[in-house]
Amino acid sequence: MTVLASGSKGNATIVAAGKTTLLVDAGLSCRELLRRMAATGEDPAAISAILITHEHLDHVAGLAVLARRLGIPVFFTEATHRAWVRSMTPRKTMSYGQWLENLQRERAERNGEPFRVAGDHLPAHTVQADETRETRESLEPGSGDGAVVSLAALADPEPCEPEESKATARFDPALLPAVEYFQVGQRFSIGEIDVNPFTIPHDAADPCGFVFHARTESLRMAVVTDLGYVPPNVKLALRDVDVLLLESNHDLEMLKDGPYPWSVKQRVLSRVGHLSNAATAEFLTRDYDGGAHTIVLGHLSKQNNLPDLARFAAEQAIGDRLSLLGNRIVLAGQESPLEPICL
């Protein structure tokens, strides 16, 4: 397992066994994901598929561009895929002709060139505008006649994007090389890895965690972040894992006294929010079987947590089960990738 990033500004983790390499979430830009893969010795060309836990931006920010660049399938639940497509797809509509004209006018203005209308022989296709907060923030000011187009559609594509897919991607920012659906609670296999997706309580369409089972080596690795509490099905899924990436999001006191508005505090603390250090410690004390080689604490809040607090709470909870051979505790961060964890 190689954690490329973990936290509210981006999540991505590589899980590999034998000849199969999977990427869980793609929450950084394509360029940054590739940069971090290079830094950790991970070969992007080896990745067989991307699996998505849920549609929040910190888990999908670089998804479309990376998937197109690598030409690999993306695994979602159907509800998560639908929610993601909606978030990529603008609400207000305009004809493709109008949209293309806007785009060309902006280009021409930027380059100081005269602009000519291309004519209306273009297909009657509609492009819609995103109204989500992230996109509205990133809209170019004064983009004209009230027609709103999402950043994904209008902005210059990342240099990451292959030339041939740039044009189509402007048309359909949610375009992927292939989409595969799975259902939570139903195992499936990709290459040499069996995948067990399990449902988690979080405020997204159909969020899940994953347990990956390397059949040939009989090793299990789990990725579970973004959950408000640890329900029985998650406790069950996390039995007998060798590497556990588990959320330890916030310190309760820091969150309560911190700068977040009341409504956001309520959301984080809710049953569909995030696990506190105390909640993670409670799981480790009461429900965790103690059998993991490494426990990676992840999705730490920058505002409402300190790595030392998260580590201390987990170490207390592990108690005397902490040894040289097992239960090593590692903290995953936002700024840089973790060294690969190899078993």
Contacts of residue 80, Cβ cutoff 8 Å, sequence gap at least 6? 52, 54, 55, 204, 205, 206, 207, 208
Contact between 54 and 14 (Cβ < 8 Å) = no
- Which of these segments, 34-42, 50-58, 185-193, 263-271, binds Zn ion (CB under 5 A)? 50-58
Whole-number minimum distance, CB 6 to Zn ion, in Å?
Answer: 9
Q: What angle do CA 132, 255, 56 make, to 5 degrees?
A: 25
- Closer CB to Zn ion, 24 or 169, in the complex: 24
Q: Which is nearer to Zn ion, 56 or 68 (CB)?
A: 56
The binding track of 193-232 with respect to Zn ion, each residue x by CB under 5 A or -, is ---------------------------------x------
What single string gives the DSSP state of each residue in 46-61?
Answer: GEEEEE-S---HHHHT
Residue among 58 and 101 whose Cβ is closer to Zn ion = 58
Nearest CB to Zn ion, comparing residues 57 and 139: 57
* Least distance (Å) between residue 316 CB and Zn ion: 25
Minimum distance between the CB of residue 187 and Zn ion, rounded to whole angstroms? 23
The 10 Å Cβ neighbour count of residue 276 is 27
Q: Distance between CA 238 and CA 223 in Å, rounded?
A: 9
Which residue in 181, 197, 190 sits closest to 46, CA to CA? 190
Tell me the two tokens of residue 120: 């209306």
Measured CA to CA, the distance from residue 26 to residue 180 in angstroms comes to: 16
- Pick between residue 226 and residue 251 the one whose CB is nearest to Zn ion: 226
Residue 103 burial by CB count (10 A; 0-12/13-18/19+): exposed, middle or buried? middle
* Identity of the residue, 280 or 327, whose beta carbon is nearer to Zn ion in the bound complex: 280
At closest approach, how far in Å is the CB of 264 from Zn ion?
A: 13
Tell me the C-alpha to C-alpha distance, in Å, between residue 336 and each of 7, 33, 97, 318, 339.
11, 11, 43, 26, 10
Calpha distance 65→79 (Å, rounded): 21
Nearer to Zn ion, 267 or 328 (CB): 267
Q: Which lies closer to Zn ion via its Cβ, residue 205 or residue 314?
A: 205
Q: Which residue is nearest to Zn ion (CB)?
A: 56
Q: Which of residues 75-104 bind Zn ion (CB under 5 A)?
A: none
Candidates 55-63, 83-91, 158-166, 265-273; binding stretch for Zn ion (CB under 5 A):
55-63
From the CB of 206, what's the least distance to Zn ion, in Å?
A: 12
Task: Give the number of other Cβ atoms within 10 Å of residue 243's Cβ.
Answer: 22
For Zn ion, which residue of 58, 101, 130, 242 counts as binding (CB under 5 A)?
58
Smallest distance, Zn ion to C-beta of residue 120, A? 43
Stretches 58-66, 109-117, 148-156, 184-192: which one binds Zn ion (CB under 5 A)?
58-66
Residues 298, 225: contact at Cβ < 8 Å? yes
- Compute the C-alpha angle 26/128/83, nearest 5°: 40
Least Å distance, CB 147 to Zn ion, is: 30
The interface mask with Zn ion, positions 104-143, x = CB under 5 A, is ----------------------------------------
CA 343 to chain centre: 24
Our CA angle for 257, 262, 267, nearest 5°, is 105
- With a CB cutoff of 8 Å and minimum separation 6, the contacts of 173 are 64, 88, 89, 150, 152, 153
* Residue 274: CB minimum distance to Zn ion, A: 8
Nearer to Zn ion, 9 or 293 (CB): 9
Question: Is residue 56 part of the contact set for Zn ion (CB under 5 A)?
Answer: yes
Write out the residues near Zn ion by the rule CB under 5 A: 56, 58, 226
